[in-house]
Amino acid sequence: MPVDPTTRRNWPWLAAEQPERIRRQTDPAFDAVLDDPDHGLRPIVRHGAARLAWPPDDATEADWHSLLASYDDLVNPFASVNRAFARTTNRWGVQNTTDGAEVAAHIRHCLDNGQPASFLRVGDGEGDVLALGLGRFAHLTRFCAYARSLKHLGEGELLLEHRRTLLERVHEALANAEGIGIPERLSLMASFTWAGVAASRRPLRVRFTPTTDAVSAAHGIAAVFEYFGRHPQSLRLADTAAYSARFHENLLGHYEGLVRGRHVVVVANQPALEHALVEHLGATGVTYHHVPKQAFTSKSAGSTGHFPDRYGELLDTLASTRPGALHLVGAGLLGKIYCDAIREAGGIAVDIGSAVDVWMGRATRPHHPQLIRRYRLR
């Protein structure tokens, strides 16, 4: 049922007067660019879905080249960020595909001891949100936030319009997390390579014009490193374990051990999981909370209805969720906030992301077919 606009404005999590508890390193000029109502970003509809073309204007392209010029400065924080965590499995800066058992043991410890906890992952999508608090590359940050919002939520203005509230909630979710999956150092180089940049050469060489998705991914991964490097204390990294950003896939061989014999709560967009987790992984029961599909998977233009409507409803529901229960959350960008709400209510939340797609046999990533052959629930 659609939410009445007057009611929506009164929801506390969208209140404009909500205090900001983190110090955003921005300036008026940066905010002016993000708040510009005539920003010139005009999506085009292709194959039923809205997209942005690259480059949109000279100022945004100039920011992109400035980002490229600072590439070495973006890579450097990786080692210090890893050292800031209580412990880490990302020792060599390359993708770790073997930390599933360690993550599973950490989750099981929380379950067995009734310890509320959240296990989150951050990647390029979360990075495009975190960049809204960095105060750099204003035109590029605006472009990537608009593109990300369009891709995930179906409306380009949503992340920009509500950036202060969402940035604060994501920051708090990260600060409260028991474990965080972060990109490996090689992920930054890979994202820039996808964007047409020969990152292994000096000076950097642009080989071809990138796509919007590639620019957004490179910008997002870079922002993760920079944001964590700036805020190790307020993010409480010294009390948090760092895992691979792909720990949700590394757990595919361990989910059954976590699920079997337990009542599980699922926050995702696959109703079939309610039966599949009982039938194939041995759950004693499943409580299912539905979230809308992301815009890029639904292949339709316009709002998905996830934010702010379903988002507000879910936060209300999860505030009284089952304490001590395992919660599996596959809800994109907003899933980090849901995980924190679950932890606050006494649950144990795991950000499983596209592992849901693997279970359902949907190849939404290039490497999924091999995982589907092994782990599909059928």
DSSP secondary structure string for all residues of 177-227: -SEEEE--HHHHHHHHHHTTEETTSSS-EE-SPPPHHHHHHHHHHHHHHHH
**H or E stretch at 36:** none
pLDDT tens, 136-190? 999 999 999 999 999 999 999 999 999 999 999 999 999 999 999 999 888 888 8
Beta bridge partners of 243: 181
Backbone angles phi, psi at 197, to 5 degrees: -110, 130
pLDDT computed for residue 79 by the predictor = 81
> Helix, strand or coil for residue 289?
strand
> Helix, strand or coil for residue 56?
coil
Residues 268, 355 contacting (CB under 8 angstroms): no
Dump the DSSP string for 268-285. ES-TTHHHHHHHHH--SE
pLDDT computed for residue 25 by the predictor = 54
Confidence class for position 203, pLDDT limits 50, 70, 90: confident
Rounded-to-integer distance, Cα 219 and Cα 144, Å: 8
pLDDT tens, 308-347? 999 999 999 999 999 999 999 999 999 999 999 999 999 9
Q: Is 321 exposed, middle or buried (0-12, 13-18, 19+ CB in 10 A)?
A: buried
pLDDT tens, 338-351? 999 999 999 999 99
pLDDT tens, 16-30? 333 344 445 557 889
Domain ranges of the chain: 26-34+42-375
Quote the pTM value.
0.91
pLDDT computed for residue 302 by the predictor = 82
